[in-house]
A and B are shown apart, each in its own frame.
Chain A
Amino acid sequence: MTVATRRIPGIALVAVLVCLAAQPCAAATDAQGAQLAAACASCHRLDGRDSGIPPVIGLDEVRIVKSLWAYRSGQRAGPIMHVVAAALSPEQIAAVAHYLAGQRPAPVQR
């Protein structure tokens, strides 16, 4: 799936959405999503807690996609998130949103 979407970027978003229904494809997307989410983790805590920068996990997937597109277009203000979102392809936005939406807050550590 990864190879296919890289070769046909024009239909990447559709391909990823279709892919989500199929288990092997979803696994590949999740791996990509996890690696992309590594970039988020430089600023956002990925255990769901907020210490000054809003949490990004466990949110509605469509909401994350829409937010990233809004930052990308400049419709939503935020220089850092604009630069991040603009660096992502449509396929990558879908993959990272799917991954983040699927994460659950970590239990409180002792």
Chain B
Amino acid sequence: MSGCTRRAFGGLAGALCLACVPGFAAERRSAPRVVVIGGGPGGATLARYLAVAGKALNITLIEPKKRYTTCFSSNLYLAGLRSFDSLTHGYEALSDRYGIHVIHDRAVAIDPAAKTIRLIGGAIVPYDRLVVAPGIAFREGAIAGYDEAAAEIMPHAWMAGAQTKLLRRQLEAMPDGGTFMLAAPANPFRCPPGPYERASLVAAYFKQHKPRSKILILDAKDDFFEQDLFQDAWNRHYPGMIEWLPAQFIGAIEAVDVRQRSIKTATQVFKADIVNLIPPQMAASLAQQAGLADNSGWCPIDSVTFESTLQRDIHLVGDAIIAGDMPKSAFAANSQAKACAFAIAGALTGADSPQQFLFNTCFTVLAPDDAVSDAISFRNVGGKISIEEILFSKLDDSAATRAQGMRESNGWYDAFTRDIFG
């Protein structure tokens, strides 16, 4: 790589050799190189806060997509309450205003011994510290018959983008009086209130456009997050429309039949016009391949520095990690990313590492004028991130409070995405 020059490689420089890339000037070459893989809420937040906290660092963000669509608030798009464009964000601010070197490519392998990353085209990227924010993958074979091809008929829409649009098209095409069936996975999974918010917002869409339609939720669990708030809202806003079937009634979800649009559980077969199957999950494949995940399929970390307990000098944040009591949410990923950025800046530049402050809030929309929230603070107790305090919206909140919750939910999205993408 030493013979590599900008003149020789021209426009391919970014894919071939970091030292050749504009912005990687010679005077910065001695600065510690921090590479972040994954430009979702965890990775993008981390890169941005690291750029502010560790000004002497050389920061690279590797993310295949040029535009990122947020999973959070994508249920609002399904209901027609948000545009798809409003969910989509670029990396220009991170690159232009924060000096982060953004490479739009896919990292396919990590060599922890050589401290290098291999990109899909074969280029090698060296690092001094690596942060991996890979997100989730679906567990292959967990539900017989459900694979990538099946997801084109029975969308999961659990990684926002084309899948989200597909599900919206199916909702638009479904006749009034049809059935929408959602299969929710066992814990842990990305966004604990997400499946139930989705049912609520699909119901909001049906109520307005297809009022004779039904929603069936097949659950791999016997209870779910904020269950009382959801079921109260379903009774008030959508009486008789949503039926929730817990695992104890239907047995495990075993297989799908794409042609029949049906799901087979241990006890019954359920058919519907639309099947939205949210599969069981684990840390994304890069984390598995790089030896960052344990037998659970998730990645163990040090609860203070977020450094992998399996590989040195590699940190992890976001949905892929085992973070004690923290849920797999974008908010948690954003909070972990800040703590991790301050820890790395402290280690590499001697900057002051503050007391860790971990937090989660979910704004959950139950109907167009009815949103609830929860707030959780966390504290490290004996090496485990544990809940310090947790508060939820109340069942007897006034309508005005819930309507205010909806305005706050929109305000949060605006502030939160600025906090992530700059």
Chain A positions within 8 Å of B, measured between CB atoms, are: 2, 28, 31-32, 35-36, 38-39, 41-45, 47, 50-53, 79-80, 82-84, 86-87, 92
A53 proximity list for chain B (CB < 8 A): 408, 411-412, 415
With beta carbons under 8 angstroms apart, the residue of A28, A38, A84 that contacts B352 is A28
- State whether the Cβ of B392 lies closer than 8 Å to any Cβ in chain A: yes
Q: Which residue of B lies closest to A54 (CB)?
A: B411
**Cross-chain contact B410 with A84 (CB below 8 angstroms):** no
With beta carbons under 8 angstroms apart, the residue of B338, B361, B419 that contacts A80 is B361
A50 proximity list for chain B (CB < 8 A): 411
- State whether the Cβ of B354 lies closer than 8 Å to any Cβ in chain A: yes
**Cross-chain contact B361 with A38 (CB below 8 angstroms):** no
- Tell me the bound Cα distance from A42 to B334 in angstroms: 8
Q: Pull 26 A–B residue pairs with CB atoms less than 8 Å apart, ordered by A.
A: A2-B352, A31-B352, A35-B338, A35-B352, A38-B49, A38-B338, A39-B335, A39-B357, A42-B334, A42-B415, A42-B416, A43-B361, A43-B415, A43-B416, A44-B415, A50-B411, A51-B410, A51-B414, A79-B373, A79-B374, A79-B392, A80-B373, A83-B389, A87-B379, A87-B388, A87-B389
**Cross-chain contact A84 with B338 (CB below 8 angstroms):** no
- Tell me the bound Cα distance from A98 to B99 in angstroms: 28
Closest A-B pairs by Cβ, 4 of them: A52-B411, A53-B411, A79-B391, A83-B375
- Tell me the bound Cα distance from A86 to B375 in angstroms: 12
- State whether the Cβ of B377 lies closer than 8 Å to any Cβ in chain A: yes
Given contacts A79-B375, A80-B373, contact A39 B338 (CB under 8 A): yes
B388 proximity list for chain A (CB < 8 A): 87
Q: Which residue of A lies closest to B353 (CB)?
A: A35
- Tell me the bound Cα distance from A35 to B338 in angstroms: 9
Chain B positions within 8 Å of A, measured between CB atoms, are: 49, 53, 331, 334-335, 338, 342, 351-352, 354-355, 357, 359, 361, 373-377, 379, 388-393, 407-412, 414-416, 418-419
A39 proximity list for chain B (CB < 8 A): 335, 338, 357, 359
With beta carbons under 8 angstroms apart, the residue of A28, A36, A47, A52 that contacts B357 is A36
A43 proximity list for chain B (CB < 8 A): 361, 411-412, 415-416
A80 proximity list for chain B (CB < 8 A): 361, 373, 375, 391
- Tell me the bound Cα distance from A41 to B357 in angstroms: 13
- Tell me the bound Cα distance from A50 to B342 in angstroms: 27
Point out which of B334, B352, B357, B407 has the most chain A C-beta atoms below 10 A from its C-beta: B357
Given contacts A43-B416, A84-B359, contact A52 B410 (CB under 8 A): yes
Point out which of A28, A43, A92 has the most chain B C-beta atoms below 10 A from its C-beta: A43
**Cross-chain contact A42 with B357 (CB below 8 angstroms):** no
Nearest chain A CB to B302 CB, angstrom units = 19
Point out which of B331, B407, B409, B419 has the most chain A C-beta atoms below 10 A from its C-beta: B419
**Cross-chain contact A41 with B391 (CB below 8 angstroms):** no
Point out which of A42, A82, A87 has the most chain B C-beta atoms below 10 A from its C-beta: A42
With beta carbons under 8 angstroms apart, the residue of B359, B374, B418 that contacts A45 is B418
**Cross-chain contact A32 with B352 (CB below 8 angstroms):** yes
- Tell me the bound Cα distance from A52 to B191 in angstroms: 23
B393 proximity list for chain A (CB < 8 A): 79
A35 proximity list for chain B (CB < 8 A): 53, 338, 342, 352, 354
Nearest chain B CB to A24 CB, angstrom units = 13
Given contacts A36-B354, A36-B357, contact A87 B414 (CB under 8 A): no
Nearest chain A CB to B19 CB, angstrom units = 31
Given contacts A43-B412, A45-B414, A52-B411, contact A83 B391 (CB under 8 A): yes
- Tell me the bound Cα distance from A51 to B408 in angstroms: 8
**Cross-chain contact B415 with A83 (CB below 8 angstroms):** no
Q: Which residue of B lies closest to A88 (CB)?
A: B357
Nearest chain A CB to B412 CB, angstrom units = 5
- Tell me the bound Cα distance from A39 to B342 in angstroms: 12
A83 proximity list for chain B (CB < 8 A): 359, 375-377, 389-391
Q: Which residue of A lies closest to B392 (CB)?
A: A79
- Tell me the bound Cα distance from A52 to B404 in angstroms: 9
A32 proximity list for chain B (CB < 8 A): 352, 354
Q: Which residue of A lies closest to B393 (CB)?
A: A79
- Tell me the bound Cα distance from A84 to B359 in angstroms: 8
Q: Which residue of B lies closest to A79 (CB)?
A: B391
- Tell me the bound Cα distance from A24 to B357 in angstroms: 24
Given A51-B410, A52-B407, 11 more pairs with CB closer than 8 A = A2-B352, A28-B352, A35-B338, A36-B357, A39-B338, A41-B415, A45-B414, A47-B418, A51-B414, A79-B374, A82-B391
Nearest chain A CB to B117 CB, angstrom units = 27
